[in-house]
Amino acid sequence: MALAHMHASGMGGIRTAGDLVARMQFSQKMRLNEAKEYVAGKLKVSVDDLVDEVVMNELRQELDISTVYAGMGEMARGIESKFRIAKLLDMEINSVQRFLRKTNWQQ
Amino acid sequence: MVVTRMGDGSFITLSKDEVRRDIEEGVADAVKRGKIEPLGADEIDHLVDICCRPQKFVSVEKGKELILSYDSGSLKITRLGIPIGMPQIMQLYERAFAADSLELAYVHYSFKPIKSIVPEEQYAVAETSLVTTAPLLYGAMPNLPLYTKPDGPCDNAAELLPAGKIDQARQAQEEAVEYAIKDMVFVSSGMYEAGADGIDFDTTGAAGDAEFYATLKATEKLREKYPDMAIEIGMAGEFVLGFHGQLEYDGVRLAGLYPHKQVKLAEKAGASVFGAVVNTNSSRSFPWNLGRAITFCKACVEAADIPVHANVGMGVGAVPLVMTPPIDCVSRTSAAMAEVGKLDGL
């Protein structure tokens, strides 16, 4: 059923920009359109581009914020990409903050 | 003729006029029960179109996509009998299922049993947060009945009420509320400290107004403790049962509230996302259920100041009440919720 919803109406997660828009909903309580516009503005693309797998795959590679393909070990993934996403979206991500605390790392 | 289904999943055939009639009757039922505005003529036309398309699978117009969140998402793989760990299940959701957000959960999907295994669940959360990119929530049910005898310390209101012991039943629920709040705050704090982005209170209010009250109070405490925590309150049903009957939150009596009023209290408590529920009537047609569900959800979306994600799984949100929800209905619901209901997510 999750797959049916994904195909019917989902944004596409890290295939596109669904995870980024979801972050703005969950962390900033942004409504859908506001969240899409915020993310599009930060990525410097149109709102329509946010769900375009071709545009977003290339952009995510360029920004190094993870795609569904792990590649040859070159792409940032998981916590690595979340460091970049926090900076890109100008927000704090809880797991990134925890990582910084546990490594005593100063950004 | 249009091939559609009943709310129990069985196939039926209706004329296009009968589809429209059923949608209009579903809308009218929601308007009457919820005291909310009906859908407009153009919106009903849109629902008729979605129901009558001959394709097995229907999707949204490009640009109308929304965000997907999950309840007990990770358990869906466990229930298939595929024995893989939670971090790997979350990676599957992210990399193979294109999930916009992730929800990690334990098989005993309630806060009370999780309380005793918080360190083990924290390992799963911490590991998952290292290898996934999408927002990660930890989900569980408030499940107030677990605090009643013989499983818990409180008297069972469900036994006291039929015996006419109304005051004792209320006291027992109030006692259970305090235990539930402690557990929800304890477990949620543990998962947030381990690296989760937040918590999903799933099937809130399944035991009625006392359970909704406990969840609102737990949300309030967590919001005060963790200002940036993501908190999703997903409901159990469309209507808060008055099992206690007198409980209020912020001066509002909880018993009898429908989604458009539930969401205002969730906001007040500090929730980030509200999960609206509309029950599927298995004795009515899919068009009837769809018209009804969209009317309730649209009213909730219009009343809300936070994102609203409608519950659209088996037996809710017009999806038939079956273990294997048919994708002809699931996809139509999905498209209708996005295009007509204007939901922020599902």
Contact A55/A45 with Cβ under 8 angstroms?
A: yes
Contacts of B98 in chain A (CB under 8 A): 6, 10, 12-16, 18, 68
Per residue in B102-153, pLDDT (tens digit) is 999 999 999 999 999 999 999 999 999 999 999 999 999 999 999 999 999 9
Q: Is B228 exposed, middle or buried, given 0-12, 13-18 or 19+ CB atoms closer than 10 A?
A: middle
Count of residues making up chain B: 346
CB contact under 8 Å between A98 and B129, yes or no, is yes
Chain B closest CA to A103's CA: distance in Å? 13
* The pLDDT value given to residue B73: 80
The pLDDT-based confidence of A74 (bands split at 50, 70, 90) is: confident
* The pLDDT value given to residue A2: 87
Would the pLDDT of A107 be above 70?
Answer: no
Would the pLDDT of A70 be above 80?
Answer: no
CA-nearest of B35, B51, B3, B8 to B280 is B8
Amino acid letter for position A77: R
Q: Is B129 exposed, middle or buried, given 0-12, 13-18 or 19+ CB atoms closer than 10 A?
A: buried
CA-nearest of B56, B183, B213 to B118 is B183
Mean predicted confidence (pLDDT) in B268-280: 98
Nearest CB partner across the interface for A25, out of B132, B307, B334: B307
3-state secondary structure B174-216: HHHHHHHHHHHHHHHHHHHHHCCCEEEEEEECCCCHHHHHHHH
Nearest CB partner across the interface for B65, out of A11, A14, A31: A11
3-state secondary structure B94-154: HHCCCCCCEEEEEEEEEHHHHHCCHHHHHHHHHHHHHHCCCCEEEEEECCHHHHECCCCCE
For residue B57, the chain A residue with the least C-alpha distance is A8
CA-nearest of B139, B105, B324, B300 to B234 is B139
- The model carries a pTM of 0.97
Contacts of B135 in chain A (CB under 8 A): 19, 22-23, 26-27
Angle between helices A2-9 and B327-339 (to 10 degrees): 40
Chain B (20-59) residues lying within 8 Å, Cβ to Cβ, of chain A: 57-59
Q: Which two tokens stand for residue B237?
A: 């049903």
Per residue in B148-183, pLDDT (tens digit) is 999 999 999 999 999 999 999 999 999 999 999 999
| Stretch (H or E) spanning A102 | helix A94-103
Average pLDDT score over chain A = 94
CA A22 to chain centre: 8
CA-nearest of B177, B309, B153, B6 to A10 is B309
- Which domains occur in chain B, in start order? 2-339 (3.20.20)
Contact B175/B214 with Cβ under 8 angstroms?
A: no
Task: Calculate the alpha carbon distances from B222 to A58, B116, B146, B225, B228 in Å.
Answer: 39, 20, 22, 5, 10
Contact B197/B164 with Cβ under 8 angstroms?
A: no
CB contact under 8 Å between B137 and A26, yes or no, is yes
Angle among Cα B47, A5, B306 to the nearest 5 degrees reads 80
- Does B97 touch chain A if contact means CB atoms closer than 8 Å? yes
For residue B102, the chain A residue with the least C-alpha distance is A19
Q: Which two tokens stand for residue B268?
A: 């007040």
**What DSSP string runs through B266-335?**
HHHHT-SEEEE--B--TTSBHHHHHHHHHHHHHHHHHH-SS-EEE--STTBTT--SSSS--HHHHHHHHH
Mean predicted confidence (pLDDT) in B307-321: 97
Nearest CB partner across the interface for A9, out of B66, B137, B314: B66
Would the pLDDT of B190 be above 90?
Answer: yes
Per residue in B65-103, pLDDT (tens digit) is 999 999 988 888 988 899 999 999 999 999 999 999 999
Mean predicted confidence (pLDDT) in A54-67: 95
Chain A closest CA to B196's CA: distance in Å? 7
For residue B130, the chain A residue with the least C-alpha distance is A79
Nearest CB partner across the interface for A11, out of B97, B100, B193: B100
Contacts of A99 in chain B (CB under 8 A): 195
CB contact under 8 Å between A65 and B133, yes or no, is yes
Average pLDDT score over chain B = 97
Per residue in B201-217, pLDDT (tens digit) is 999 999 999 999 999 99
Q: Rounded to 5 degrees, what are φ and ψ at B285?
A: -75, 165
Share of chain B above pLDDT 70, in %: 100
Per residue in B226-259, pLDDT (tens digit) is 999 999 999 999 999 999 999 999 999 999 999 9
- Torsion angle (degrees, nearest 10) of CA B280, B283, B285, B286: 20
Contacts of B76 in chain A (CB under 8 A): 2
CB contact under 8 Å between A13 and B97, yes or no, is yes
Per residue in A17-43, pLDDT (tens digit) is 999 999 999 999 999 999 999 999 999
| Whether the predicted interface score ipTM is above 0.95 | yes
For residue B331, the chain A residue with the least C-alpha distance is A8
Share of chain A above pLDDT 70, in %: 95
Contacts of B194 in chain A (CB under 8 A): 98
* The pLDDT value given to residue A72: 67
d(CA B311, CA B200): 13
Mutate to test the interface with A, among B59, B65, B298, B342 (most CBs of A within 10 A): B65
CB contact under 8 Å between A6 and B99, yes or no, is yes
- Does B92 touch chain A if contact means CB atoms closer than 8 Å? no
